[in-house]
Amino acid sequence: MVSAAVAGRRQGAGVATRLATRLIAVALVLAFLVLFGLRLRPAALGPADPVRWLAGGDGPVPVTLRGALLEDPRRPPPSSPRPASPAPPPASDVQPGEGPCKALLQTAVGRTELALDPCPPLRQGWQVRASGELRRLRPAPHPLLAGPAERLAGQGVRTRLRVQQLQVLERPATPILDLRQRIAGRLIDAAGAERGGLLAALVLGSAVVPLPLELREAFRAAGLSHALAASGFHLTVLLGVVTALGRPLPRPLRLVLSAGAILAFLLLAGPQGSVVRAVLMGAVALLALECGRRARPLPLLLVTAVTMLWLQPAWLRDVGFQFSVLATAGLLITASPLEQAIAARLPDGRGGRPGWLQRLLAPALSVPLAATLWTLPLQLLHFGVVPLYAVPANLVAGPLLTPLTLAAMLLAAVALLVPSLLPLLLLAVDPLARLLLAIAAWFARLPMAQWQIGRPLPLLVALFALAVLGLLLPLPRRWLRPMALLLLLVVAAAHLQLLRADQLLLVHQGSAGEGRDLLLARSQGRGALISSRADPFSCRQVGSLVKGLGLPRLDWVLLLDPVASQDPACWREQSDLVVAYGDDSLPLAAGERLESPGLAVQALTQDSHALHLELGSQRWLLLPDRQALQAWQDLDETPPQGVWLGFQPRPQERRALQRRGSSGGWRWISGSGRSGALPPPWRASGDSGSLQAPGG
């Protein structure tokens, strides 16, 4: 009877544990769903925010602002276009640098972004007075092209000041920033940009270390970005060493030593969302351990995340914080069951004891697999890619990360205290750093290292997350797991159907007739492009659209710009067939076609850009300018179901189009459409916006 009672209590405790696990998982899912409602929601504006100077317009408005710099100036990557600056900012006490840069300015009433060209040597925390033209940050024309306006909205920034005059008012001491830069600078000087940057990132995090773009991309493609970001793993390694060294000491000294290590980690890595989460959880867990109690990590994670978001709601929009919370939840909830499931499928050792594969391979596989599965919805939501080799890459690189992180921390201390010893110690660490870089580069070069499936609709991502949880978590009813699998298949089928639909996407930026137009046609999973501009910025936008829509490459590209592209290699990366009117290629002759399965464009006349576009069952008339409209009118033909005008038509021109054929179908205008109210079915893209024709 006693044994039955004990068994009953154990069974009840097991049920309670599973129930608590499910409840916490549901809470995490609800928090993830809240992300969909808040991810694009701008932060509240103060009553005297700099955007109020614009009086509801977009600017420019001449203003003078005074405040403190929130960051060191950010320079654009080498491939970014250099914005024009009518007048470089003169300053008597600031020596100009090379190239443009940007920095956030905190004023007494709000925040704005400073645009400086050339870039002066400014530092975070300096007090400055900046005069120039204030403009509203223009939103991206399409969600897949999110730019500065979307990136800075979560930080309460709505405006950009093009600086014409700059004066430094005060240079307060910045000891922490100086310490970070000294560590990173000495490691990079001693070991080079790649290996030194890697070692510095293992200590400080990639957010504060200037890593080469190729290194960042390689680690991202291999699924190893977490190794470069200051996170709970790095803090765990640090605390493991500190607690081991402090074990002979009395408890108060151990607590002081551990608290000092946690504080040093926070100061060096910076108060990022993922860092603060790791610090809070590590501090509570360490305190509980020293007091002889065991912290419950799952409730601790939930309480930590809720408390952080209560105090700083903007962290909800921080992608690093989102990945940190979900990856930690996956490790706490799913890693152990996955380890048991993997071990059960591996051969036993002698005498029925666990074999070496079960002891080594099962935990090594379960940790990256759990983190990957739990963060996969975020990967799809933000990037539209699946890191196919993330688990094997982490399996191979995992044994290197702990010793390399410990070595990097030791080298950071040596760089501060005895920098002359750095070259000698690097001889021992350099092979490990080279090996980790080689592993990341090798996995990044594998075919489909980042499987681009396109960014699904937020609703599909939410349903996908629900299905994955249904497959990973213990469920009270057996029939729920097949339902979760069915839901997963339905989501995949719906996304695949959207990817293969016949669709035309117009992306417009700038005023009509002078702006930038991208027409991306899709049919049966293939794509083709017609662009009014051939500049590098347009090409990079096309690359973002192609990646976000899940297209491997474009079948063909037609560039109508009479000016030759400054970066033709960029366009060749998008498609093997590029016809550019601005280079040595001959324009399409009347009746000549560019075509691929389901997609075709045909020139209507020799002396204009009037085009016929076919995508699946849709037929479009493309008229980029009035000359094209006049040339088409001379042909005396009926317009197809879709018409696009790349200019602002006059009312009589719209009526003439309606008299030539049916007024139904799609009628698009690039620009704001301000030349009178637009009657149905006419639609305007706006000065920065997009239009999309549905499939069918």
Tell me, what's the pLDDT at 8? 46
On whether residue 336 sits in a domain, the answer given is no
Checking if the pLDDT of 531 tops 50, the result is yes
In contact, 681 and 657? CB cutoff 8 Å: no
Cβ of 269: how many Cβ atoms within 10 Å? 24
Token code pair at residue 566: 């400054």
Over the range 203-223, which residues count as b (16 or more CB within 10 Å of their CB) and which as e? Answer: bbbbebbebeeebbebbbbbb
Contact (CB, 8 A) for 141 and 187: no
Helix, strand, coil percentages for the chain (3-state, nearest 5): 50, 15, 30
Vertex 21, ends 20 and 24: CA angle to 5°? 85
CATH code, domain carrying 107: 2.40.50.140
Q: Which of 154-163, 290-299, 351-360, 562-571 shows the lowest per-residue confidence on average (mean pLDDT)?
A: 351-360
- In the predicted model, what is the mean pLDDT of residues 53-62? 75
In this structure, are 128 and 240 located in the same domain?
no
pLDDT number for residue 6? 41
468-477 burial, b at 16+ Cβ within 10 Å, e below that, comes to bbbebbebee
Residue 239 resides in a domain: yes
Task: Give the least confident one: 228-232, 338-342, 403-407, 658-662.
Answer: 658-662
pLDDT at 27: 58
Q: Give the integer Cα–Cα distance in Å for 21 and 9.
A: 18
Q: Assess whether pLDDT exceeds 70 at residue 405.
A: yes
- Residues 541-561 have a mean pLDDT of 89
420 or 96, higher pLDDT: 420
pLDDT at 433: 93
Query: How many domains are contained in the chain?
Result: 4
pLDDT of residue 436: 94
What share of the chain in percent tops pLDDT 70?
A: 85
Query: Which pLDDT tens digit goes with each residue over 623-653?
Result: 888 888 888 887 777 778 888 888 888 877 7
Whole-angstrom CA distances from 299 to 295, 296, 307, 621 are 9, 6, 12, 59
Query: Which range marks the domain in which residue 438 is found?
Result: 177-320+390-451
Q: Is the pLDDT of residue 454 over 90?
A: no
Residues 533 and 476 in one domain: no
Judge whether 647 lies within some domain.
yes
Amino acid letter, 91: A
Name which of 158, 64, 74, 162 is nearest 116 in CA terms: 162
What pLDDT was estimated at residue 585?
Answer: 65
pLDDT above 70: residue 381? yes
How many other CB atoms are there within 10 angstroms of residue 679's CB atom?
12
DSSP reduced 3-state for 643 = strand
Angle subtended by helix axes 2-38 and 297-311, to nearest 10? 30
Q: Is the pLDDT of residue 289 over 80?
A: no
pLDDT value of position 162: 92
pLDDT at 439: 94
pLDDT on residue 17: 53
Residue 127 has φ and ψ, to the nearest 5°, of -90, 130
Q: From the centroid of its chain, how far is CA 649?
A: 38
Q: Tens digits of per-residue pLDDT, 460-508?
A: 888 998 888 888 877 777 777 888 889 989 998 998 888 888 889 999 9
Specify whether the CB–CB gap between 370 and 417 falls below 8 A.
no
Q: Are residues 520 and 621 in the same domain?
A: yes
The pLDDT confidence band at residue 285, using thresholds 50, 70 and 90, is: confident
Q: What is the mean pLDDT of residues 243-261?
A: 84
Do residue 527 and residue 651 come from a single domain? yes
* In a shared domain, residues 538 and 565: yes
The pLDDT, as a whole number, for residue 48 is 59
Within a domain: 33: no
The DSSP letter of residue 48 is: T
Residue that finishes a domain, picked among 123, 151, 172:
172
Q: Pick 450 or 443 by higher pLDDT.
A: 443
pLDDT, residue 650, reads: 80
Distance between CA 469 and CA 233 in Å, rounded?
A: 24
The pLDDT score that the predictor gives to residue 664 is 63
pLDDT at residue 490, rounded to an integer: 92
Position 61 scores a pLDDT of 86
* Residue 18 in domain: no
Predicted confidence at residue 93, as pLDDT, reads 38
Does 225 lie in the same domain as 166? no
- 563: pLDDT confidence band, cut at 50, 70 and 90? confident
Q: What amino acid is encoded at 611 in this protein?
A: L
Q: Are both 223 and 250 inside the same structural domain?
A: yes
Provide the mean pLDDT of the chain: 81
Q: Which residues of 590-625 are buried (b: 16+ CB within 10 A; e: fewer)?
A: eeeebeeebbbbbbbbeebbbbbbbbbebebbbbbb
The structure tokens listed for 667 are 């009628």
Residue 91 pLDDT > 70: no
Summarize the confidence of residues 65-91 as an average pLDDT: 59
Are residue 471 and residue 532 in the same domain, yes or no? no
Both 403 and 485 in one domain: the answer is no
Of 172, 198, 231, which residue is a domain's last?
Answer: 172
- Domain membership of residue 25 (yes or no) is no
Contact 536, 570 (CB under 8 A): yes
Label residue 40 by pLDDT band (50, 70, 90): very low
Q: What are phi and psi of 96, to 5 degrees?
A: -70, 145
- Range list of H helices, 212-250: 213-222, 232-245
**Residue 57 sits in the same domain as residue 122:** yes
Is pLDDT of 295 > 50? yes
Q: What is the dihedral of CA 148, 150, 156, 161, to 10 degrees?
A: 30
Question: Which pLDDT does position 696 carry in this prediction?
Answer: 40
End-to-end CA distance of the chain: 70
Residue 346 counted as domain residue: no
Cα distance between residue 527 and residue 224, in whole Å:
31
pLDDT given for residue 77 in this prediction: 53
Q: Which residue has the higher pLDDT, 217 or 288?
A: 217
Tell me: the pLDDT tens digits for 66-77? 999 988 888 765
Instruction: Using the predicted structure, report yes or no on whether residue 576 has a pLDDT greater than 50.
Output: yes
Claim to verify: residue 263 and residue 167 sit in the same structural domain: no
% of the chain residues with pLDDT over 90? 14
Listed in sequence order, the DSSP H helices in 579-625 are: none
The string of pLDDT tens digits covering residues 341-373 is 888 877 766 666 666 677 778 888 888 899 899
Residue 372 belongs to some domain of the structure: no
Maximum pairwise Cα distance, the chain: 99
CATH code (residue 519)? 3.60.15.10
Return the top range by mean pLDDT from 146-150, 576-580, 655-659.
576-580
SS (H, E, C) 549-581: CCCCCECCEEECCCCCCCCHHHHHHHECCEEEC
Q: Are residues 629 and 505 in the same domain?
A: yes
